[in-house]
Amino acid sequence: MGDFDIAVMIQKITVFVIPALLAITVHEAAHAYVAKYYGDDTAERMGRMTLNPTVHIDPIGTILLPLITLLMPGGFFFGYAKPVPVIASRLRNPRSPMVALAGPMSNLIMAFAWSILLFVLGYFVVDTQSNFFYKVASVGVIFNLILFAFNMLPILPLDGGRVLMGLLPANMARSFAQLEPYGMFIVLGLAFMTGGLLFNYWVYPIVDVAQSIINLILYPLHALFA
């Protein structure tokens, strides 16, 4: 019985870890690739322009913090990877939001890819509820959509904050940048101390809209194979 419980626990962890590592790795690598495309090769020279997850893992933010938050009441998940180094002054357009957008957009694309796999597995697999790959794909969709929505929050140092800073007039952007040292405290406060305000009024609504758009795009496939 004990061996069985351990096996079940390992499978549950694996179902989460596979799509989570892939989501985080592609997210950070996307920042690096787009930064190089726009003129800054700092991330590449530091070995961060890679799909090797080990170079993007932060021991505290990627391992310890997610485990702690998952064990807290409510099963809330919070974590982060090592930020990709970008020197804005080396970019062809230092105020362009494209480098910041690259990470969240990669997660949106991955959510779409996982959704396609989910559709294929749902069509060919008889018992989807117990199928390991179906479970992985399901987690892949929701994890990437949450990562997309969370990172688009317009608060520095999140990607959404950097996108907003690039869109603001220069004088307003400089004032906004002064809030960055307090940004993560604001995010944590919204997440932990406001009764789920961050998730209920930002993350989950964006996830629902994104999921609806993906479902709409995939509707012809569902209609074709219904």
DSSP notation for the chain: -HHHHHHHHHHHHHHHHHHHHHHHHHHHHHHHHHHHHTT--HHHHTT-SSS-GGGT--IIIIIIHHHHHHHSTT-------PPPP--GGGSSSTT-SHHHHHHHHHHHHHHHHHHHHHHHHHHH-S-GGG-HHHHHHHHHHHHHHHHHHHHTSSSTTSHHHHHHHHHS-HHHHHHHHTTHHHHHHHHHHHHHSSSSHHIIIIIHHHHHHHHHHHHHHHHHHHHH--
83-110 pLDDT tens trace: 899 999 999 999 999 999 999 999 999 9
Do the Cβ atoms of 76 and 193 come closer than 8 Å?
A: no
Q: What pLDDT sits at residue 72?
A: 64
Active-site residue flag, 28: yes
Q: What pLDDT sits at residue 70?
A: 64
Q: What pLDDT sits at residue 199?
A: 86
Q: What pLDDT sits at residue 188?
A: 81
Q: What pLDDT sits at residue 71?
A: 65
Q: What pLDDT sits at residue 92?
A: 94
Active-site hit among 15, 20, 28, 86: 28
Angle in degrees, CA 163, 116, 49, rounded to 5: 45
183-209 pLDDT tens trace: 989 988 887 776 678 888 999 999 999
Q: What pLDDT sits at residue 130?
A: 84
Q: What pLDDT sits at residue 34?
A: 97
Write down the domain spans for the chain.
Answer: 2-224
Q: What pLDDT sits at residue 12?
A: 79
Low-confidence ranges of the chain (pLDDT < 70): 1-4, 69-78, 194-195, 226
Q: Which two tokens stand for residue 108?
A: 């949106």
